[in-house]
Amino acid sequence: MPGARSVWLACRAGGLPYASASTVSAAWQRAAERLHTAQHGAQDYSSSASGVGVALPHLTRTGCIYLDYNATTPIFPEVAAEMAPFLFEHFGNPSSGHTYGKVCKAALDTARSRLAQLLRAEEPGEIHFTSCGTESDNWALYGAVMAARAAQARQQQQAQGQGQHQGGRQAPPPHVVTSAVEHPALLVHLRHLQEQGLLTYTAVPVDGEGLVDPEQVAAAVQPNTALVTVMHSNNEVGAVQPIAEIAAAARQAHARANAAAAACGGGGGGGQAGAPAPPAGLLVHSDAAQSTGKVELDVGALGVDALTIVGHKFGAPKGVAALYIRRGVHLANYFYGGGQEAGRRAGTENVMQVVGLGAAAELARREDSQLRRHMADMAARLLAAVRAAVRPEDQDKLRLNGPSDPARRLPNTLSLSIRGLNSAVALQRLSAQLAASAGAACHSADGESVSAVLKAMKVPLEFAAGTLRLSTGRHTTGEEVDRAARLIVQEAQRQGVLG
């Protein structure tokens, strides 16, 4: 593998400009292609040629079939091509006013615009770069709650200044509504903030397909509800939630709850006279980590105030993400320091990673329907191959978890249960031949044998314990899924659960 000097020479050989404001250039493409070829062999990954359905040499060479795209994706070669110059050539601080800084500032601006286009945001300034999805989720939650608490404090001060007495009553802490199947980045943080006395929360259940009922969200809304946060799609079973309906129902319920509280002479204090009123407004956040690059995202149509995007889920590197914040929405800062990201997120931006995020966003926008169709075809072929390899009398031992309607499920995700299978043993035995998971990679170290998502869906234990999460991606091939199906069925036969 080439060392640092080889990379530098590749960049120089590509004729990389020092002062170009464009983040996309033929020179950058050539440099990264030369480096990639030196490592992995020749392959056409030019911007005019789609890489959809093309196997990556460094994946196929291992002999291990990669069906864990929901855990992470490889960095797509086109993305690496745009990142390459920022390893050495373009090293400036984007906050600097000289040439080196301006090049990097222009690269940030381009990436921001690309992500805004992918999400159909009104303006690039609504995109804020972060280090990971956990940070974005934490910021959305903490920022909404602390902004609500600050609004409560201002209202109390105004009331006291006007001589209104509240009998010593304190406003209840802000309330949050979420679902039972959220990522730990939200659920663990919610529990922590509740233990600190900063909020209360309600986790609404899901149905047997992993879907949230908007009416149950509405029923959980209180006058002091500051935030509704429901993931756009589930990372384990692929359920795509009705976010637009959830947002509309929650806002209507919030308006009704506050109108009723006002009519009773107070707000979040139980409707008693003299109780402090809750702050107006309800924010809606959704974690779209798994949805980006797989389904269409339109923040306006969704009706969200904030949306989490994670780079390594759709071809960008790890260590970069974003939080969309709708124009006019106030979230308290999570990081404090410099004035980066319009003063909302302190810390020097990771330019190379952000460039990768922007490149992945542009690729996702350009390949949208083609990529979606390919992932869906590969997932359908995998499921069909498994079923075809199982005897008719054993078909009832197979269960597909998640929505039965493909339109309500991520196109690439299969949560497949085989009754009686020990999925942990299966994955360990197949680990050199098949890369998959029993659930979310973020849950794999918690010692739980059955995922919390499947428990929330009330999947029977004999199926839940035998669940494999299989997720296809941009570079999955038909030959790979056919071979994976054979390996899975052979392992089930080895365990004696299939004939």
Going by C-alpha positions, the residue among 332, 324, 308 that lies closest to residue 198 is 332
- Phi–psi pair at 405, nearest 5 degrees: -85, 115
User: CA distances (Å), 296 to each of 262, 301, 317, 453, 489, in order?
Assistant: 39, 11, 21, 24, 34
377: helix, coil or strand? helix
Sign of CA dihedral 210, 212, 216, 217: positive
Catalytic residues: 442
Question: Rounded to two decimals, what is the model's pTM?
Answer: 0.87
- Per-residue pLDDT of the chain (499 residues), as tens digits, is 333 343 333 444 444 433 343 443 454 455 455 444 444 444 443 333 568 888 888 777 788 999 999 999 999 999 999 999 999 999 999 999 999 999 999 999 999 999 999 999 999 999 999 999 999 999 999 999 999 999 988 888 877 776 665 555 678 999 999 999 999 999 999 999 999 999 999 999 999 999 999 999 999 999 999 999 999 999 999 999 999 999 999 999 999 998 988 887 654 444 444 444 445 589 999 999 999 999 999 999 999 999 999 999 999 999 999 999 999 999 999 999 999 998 899 899 999 999 999 999 999 999 999 999 999 999 999 999 999 999 999 999 999 999 999 999 999 999 999 999 999 999 999 999 999 999 655 544 444 568 999 999 999 999 999 999 999 999 999 999 999 999 999 999 999 999 9
Third-level CATH fold of 128-360: Aspartate Aminotransferase; domain 2 (3.40.640)
Q: What ranges do the domains of the chain cover? A: 128-360, 366-494
Give the pair of three-digit tokens for residue 409. 């499920």
Third-level CATH fold of 366-494: Aspartate Aminotransferase, domain 1 (3.90.1150)
